[in-house]
Amino acid sequence: MKNDMIYYSVGALLYCPANKKTIADSVIHEKFGTKYSLALCLEDTINDNYVTEAEQDLISSIHQIFESFQDHPFYLPKIFIRVRNAGQIERLTKAFGESIKVITGYIIPKFTADNASSYIEEMIRANEQASRKLYMMPIYESSSIIDLRHRIDILYDLKDRLSHVEDLVLNIRVGGNDLCHMFGFRRHCDESIHRIRPVADIFSDIITVYGMDYVVSGPVWEYYSGYNWENGLIQELKDDKLCGFTGKTVIHPNQISVVNKVYQVTRSDFNDAKAILNWDKKSDSLVSGNLAGERMNEYKTHHNWAEKILFLAEVFGITD
């Protein structure tokens, strides 16, 4: 299990096309609030014929954010670049120059056995070039993990490859919409993706393979207005948490506060987590009812849970 807050701190990851010319202004003037991360996408959101132009728009936006941040402080989200191929990592890292200081890392789409080595090599090279640590967040969303005859072998093979750069892997991410697309599925705003069993089973296998060693983030939610969208998001977030996900991909600022609220830690969980981690090791008993007299706390059984709860409390806060 990850034992550093940064791995839990991505939270609500707001996706935005990399060629959106107003994005720098929105970040600088805190139009999305002060508790989110940002993904600037060069992949599916950009027409294949306009990639070069989108790269230039992106570079300009990053320079603008960096220069403004030098002049006056504002909330600087964790900024990630979703590339479309491994070669973009080196090219963009060089083009950002000193502005790389406002970049947290790169998002790797459709991470597979065919491209894993190239992406990992580029991330190692980028970290050698850059003036700061650059993280990677691979997305598991390709058709290769649908085939039940090979899925587990593929997941463990990719995990073995990532083990060489484990400290650079901030999160493992899942491509809910891409996986649904392959089956022709699309959930409505009152339906949780965890009810779509072929896709949910893929998520379950990813959590099983990676969940003990990495933070795995929840799939995108695409509804942000209209009847019942917020209740639908809340329900899916509860399902996400129960299944082992931390954080979520979002596509609209309206969704950010909902994600942050659902991931807040309850006061009772926080108190129990502290009690478990502060257990008297000299005690002859490692099990006890909690202070509220509501449930059992057991040091050996609940220690990992307690550590995670304290990280989440630090990132998202505590609710009564």
> Which residue ranges make up the annotated binding site for Mg(2+)?
178
Q: Which residues are annotated as a binding site?
A: 178
Q: Are 258 and 224 in contact (CB under 8 A)?
A: no
What tokens were used for 216?
């795995």
CA–CA dist 311, 229 (Å, integer): 28
CA–CA dist 73, 91 (Å, integer): 28
For residue 213, count other CB atoms closer than 10 A to its CB: 15
CA–CA dist 2, 172 (Å, integer): 12
User: Which segments within 109-200 are labelled E, that is strand?
Assistant: 135-140, 172-174
**75 beta partners:** none
Task: Give whole-number Cα distances, 205 to 109, 174, 295, in Å.
Answer: 19, 11, 30
Nearest to 16 by CA among 76, 92, 82: 82
What string of DSSP letters covers 252-320?
A: SGGGHHHHHHHTSEEHHHHHHHHHHHT--TTSS-SEEE-TTSSSEEEHHHHHHHHHHHHHHHHHH-EE-
